[in-house]
Structure 1
Amino acid sequence: MGYGNEKDITVLAGDIGGTKTELALYSSQSGLRRPLAKEKFSSRDYSGLEAIIEKFLSAVDIPIDRAAFGVAGPVVGGRAKITNLPWVMEEAALAQTIGAQSVCLLNDITAFANAVAVLTENDLHVINKASPAAGGTMAVVAPGTGLGEGFLVWDGKGYRAFASEGGHADFAPIGPGQTGLLADLSDRYDHVSYERVCSGMGLANIYQYFKNTGVTGDPDCPARKVPAGEDPVPEIIRSALDKEQPCGLCEKTLEMFVTVLGAEAGNMALKTMATGGVYLGGGIPPRILPLLESESFLNAFVRKGRMAELMKKIRVSVILHPEAALLGAARHAMTAPG
């Protein structure tokens, strides 16, 4: 895969999170599908990103031309702080540590969106099999721990990725069930955003709402036995998809979640005019593929009144690539001017 450069360019890319940090080296000659080196680190075992980079580079001994890091936290003026770690990162200091010409810190959803432009059909599971428009805007909706949203715009030469804070927009309920959920959450939160409903924390909120309103489920469901303070989402998903003994409470939770996700993916498609397609990322969609192929998701996605016919023509895909954020950071570094 070439990038229009006369000489081979080596980039260091990173996906930096509160739990794990993954680094990889790529060259413009070998392309983004064949990293020269790659390693994962436990973030909490290190005092900062510089310490991880120094350990990683000491084992590879390859000069770096550029670097880019997707960061799970806000990036302002070349400075970033991890949301769940006491790390502060600055582009200038990282450039000195790496010895690179340029270093860029990216919001993690920007890094993730960057990957969309280089994904192949093997990296995707298509939900709505429409044909994307050449050069059309592409939207990204990524429910994981929170709800990340972004988009890619064609500038005449390639796609440029942008982040948004659309996940914090007001939650708009559809039907009495979701209206009841909104009323319940409004008693607990000053502002009820889509992230409060359409994310890992959202799944937990929906589950608790149905549990409190008397929806019954399997009394032996593992989700009921998750200790307070621990994440119940893995057990909610597992119990909802259990073919032998599914939990009705967990099934109802996932059904509402999928409907909300379909509606919000449709909202994002309309707001960005995403004729290039909508891409579902984050940690949750790949784990609930059977539900995303249900009528609940697509009906909610398409149900946009006079825009329904337009929505039917927008392709929707789930991103299956397990390292999309890392791939996107590498693409950003590889295609940056200079």
Structure 2
Amino acid sequence: MRELRLLADIGGTNARFALESGAGQFADIEVLACADYATLGEAMGAYLGRAAARGLAADSVRQAALAIANPVEEDRVSMTNHHWSFSIEALRRQQGLDTLLVVNDFAALAMALPHLPPEGRLRIGGGVELQDGRPARPIGLIGPGTGLGVSGVIPAGKRWIALASEGGHVSFAPANRDEVAILEALWSEYGHVSAERLLSGMGLELIYWALTGRRLDAPAITGAAIAGESDDCRRTVEIFCGILGSVAGNVALTLGATGGMYIGGGIVPRLGKLFTESSFRARFEDKGRLGPYLARIPTYLITEQYPALRGVSAMLPERTASPQ
């Protein structure tokens, strides 16, 4: 690769930037708070300016790929969980780029999954791993963070095709009486209650509120649960993990994700044993007659720090190889 390429993973809270000098060779990774910048263009410019000040040839960047926490269907992108709104073509011209690829962040994360090294994931529970030499199978992805991302990748010959999905907004379906009570409490507040309403940072806060009638922010809830300082917080996290297991099972059934189901996002990796020892895997498999089908599907927690960058890196060559 003769020139540096700009890669980014943009969520509702943070934007992660990197420069790539060769396939999978990331340098100068920096995380910027989205709230510190009025526009995405300002954040990109700030990152490239600092990279140049550190001696990198940021001025040579002509190709860029951005993963963003939002549907990407037309030229205009308006973020659901942040105020940034932009035209892809106008941003490309503003930044002096020849190519600007903008894709859904979970489609990019999904594209990384077939290429994750063993040390980039942690197996949760049972399931049967595919052995080398067997035909590739669909892989599913779910990830609670600022919102709830859902995606997957489908094998197509020697290629993988990532799915851009808004599956986090499907209607929440309770699986026990506690969850029925939570749903009834949220119906009065929101009307439609999506899976994202519960499986997100805000979701932790709403579960806690529905259980206790009190308000507490998500970091305080998870912190107290991890430290063993609050039974209510620990119960909140356990319910969250159980719901995640049910929704992950739904995604696996919908996609036929017999190649594995992966958990990403910013919340679950912080939970440690609260997650690995939770009801997640039991709820994943709890689908009645389809329980044995799901029992064969392995589930993994993504532990690689910046996996979406690997995904957009894999997607950009197809765009740059196409006629402009």
Q: CA deviation at 1:95?
A: 2.7
Partners of 1:86 and 1:235 in 2: CA distance: 25
Q: Say whether 1:79 aligns with 2:79.
A: no
What letter matches 1:124 in structure 2?
R
In structure 1, runs of 5+ residues without a counterpart are 1-6, 213-223
Partners of 1:297 and 1:18 in 2: CA distance: 25
Partners of 1:253 and 1:19 in 2: CA distance: 23
Answer yes or no: is the 8 Å Cα contact 1:291–1:297 preserved in 2.
Answer: no
Partners of 2:35 and 2:247 in 1: CA distance: 34
The residue that corresponds to 1:3 in the other structure is: none
Partners of 2:78 and 2:271 in 1: CA distance: 31
TM-score between both structures, scaled by the size of structure 1: 0.84
The residue that corresponds to 1:220 in the other structure is: none
Answer yes or no: is the 8 Å Cα contact 2:101–2:319 preserved in 1.
Answer: no
Q: CA deviation at 1:273?
A: 0.4
Q: CA deviation at 1:314?
A: 0.5
Please identify runs of 4+ aligned residues in structure 1 that moved more than 6 A.
Answer: none
The residue that corresponds to 1:114 in the other structure is: 111
Partners of 2:256 and 2:190 in 1: CA distance: 31
Answer yes or no: is the 8 Å Cα contact 1:13–1:333 preserved in 2.
Answer: no
Q: Pick from 53, 58, 61: which aligns with 2:57? A: 61
Partners of 2:147 and 2:85 in 1: CA distance: 21
Identify the range of structure 1 (133-142 vs 62-71) with the bigger mean alpha-carbon deviation: 62-71
Partners of 1:106 and 1:278 in 2: CA distance: 21
Answer yes or no: is the 8 Å Cα contact 1:82–1:88 preserved in 2.
Answer: yes
Q: CA deviation at 1:310?
A: 1.1
Identify the range of structure 1 (53-62 vs 68-77) with the bigger mean alpha-carbon deviation: 53-62
The residue that corresponds to 1:13 in the other structure is: 7
Deviations 1:13-47 (CA, angstroms, capped at 9, x unpaired): 1122444322212133xx31x32433333434434
Partners of 1:294 and 1:185 in 2: CA distance: 27
Answer yes or no: is the 8 Å Cα contact 1:278–1:317 preserved in 2.
Answer: yes
The residue that corresponds to 1:40 in the other structure is: 31
Partners of 1:86 and 1:146 in 2: CA distance: 14
TM-score between both structures, scaled by the size of structure 2: 0.87
Partners of 1:170 and 1:42 in 2: CA distance: 30
Residue identity (%): 34
Q: CA deviation at 1:87?
A: 3.2
Q: CA deviation at 1:56?
A: 3.8
In structure 2, runs of 5+ residues without a counterpart are none
Answer yes or no: is the 8 Å Cα contact 1:171–1:192 preserved in 2.
Answer: yes
Deviations 1:216-264 (CA, angstroms, capped at 9, x unpaired): xxxxxxxx7xxx6xx611111121121xx43111111111111111111
Partners of 1:55 and 1:193 in 2: CA distance: 36
Answer yes or no: is the 8 Å Cα contact 2:68–2:103 preserved in 1.
Answer: yes
Q: CA deviation at 1:278?
A: 0.5
Q: Secondary structure at the match of 1:322?
A: coil
The residue that corresponds to 1:215 in the other structure is: none
Identify the range of structure 1 (188-197 vs 265-274) with the bigger mean alpha-carbon deviation: 188-197
The residue that corresponds to 1:180 in the other structure is: 181
Within 5 Å, which residues of 2 pair with 1:72-151?
72-133=69-130, 134-151=135-152
Answer yes or no: is the 8 Å Cα contact 1:140–1:151 preserved in 2.
Answer: yes
Answer yes or no: is the 8 Å Cα contact 1:128–1:314 preserved in 2.
Answer: no
Q: Pick from 19, 22, 30: which aligns with 1:25? A: 19
Answer yes or no: is the 8 Å Cα contact 2:6–2:65 preserved in 1.
Answer: yes
Answer yes or no: is the 8 Å Cα contact 2:71–2:166 preserved in 1.
Answer: no
Partners of 2:176 and 2:31 in 1: CA distance: 44
Count residues with an aligned counterpart: 311
Partners of 1:84 and 1:188 in 2: CA distance: 19
Q: Secondary structure at the match of 1:269?
A: helix
Q: Pick from 271, 283, 302: which aligns with 2:285? A: 302
Q: CA deviation at 1:174?
A: 1.0
Q: CA deviation at 1:169?
A: 1.1
Identify the range of structure 1 (97-106 vs 232-241) with the bigger mean alpha-carbon deviation: 97-106
Answer yes or no: is the 8 Å Cα contact 2:81–2:146 preserved in 1.
Answer: no
Q: Secondary structure at the match of 1:76?
A: coil
Residues 195, 47 of structure 1: alpha-carbon distance in 2 compared, 3 angstrom cutoff: closer
Identify the range of structure 1 (150-159 vs 19-28) with the bigger mean alpha-carbon deviation: 19-28
Residues 252, 43 of structure 1: alpha-carbon distance in 2 compared, 3 angstrom cutoff: closer
Residues 232, 87 of structure 1: alpha-carbon distance in 2 compared, 3 angstrom cutoff: closer
What letter matches 1:39 in structure 2?
E
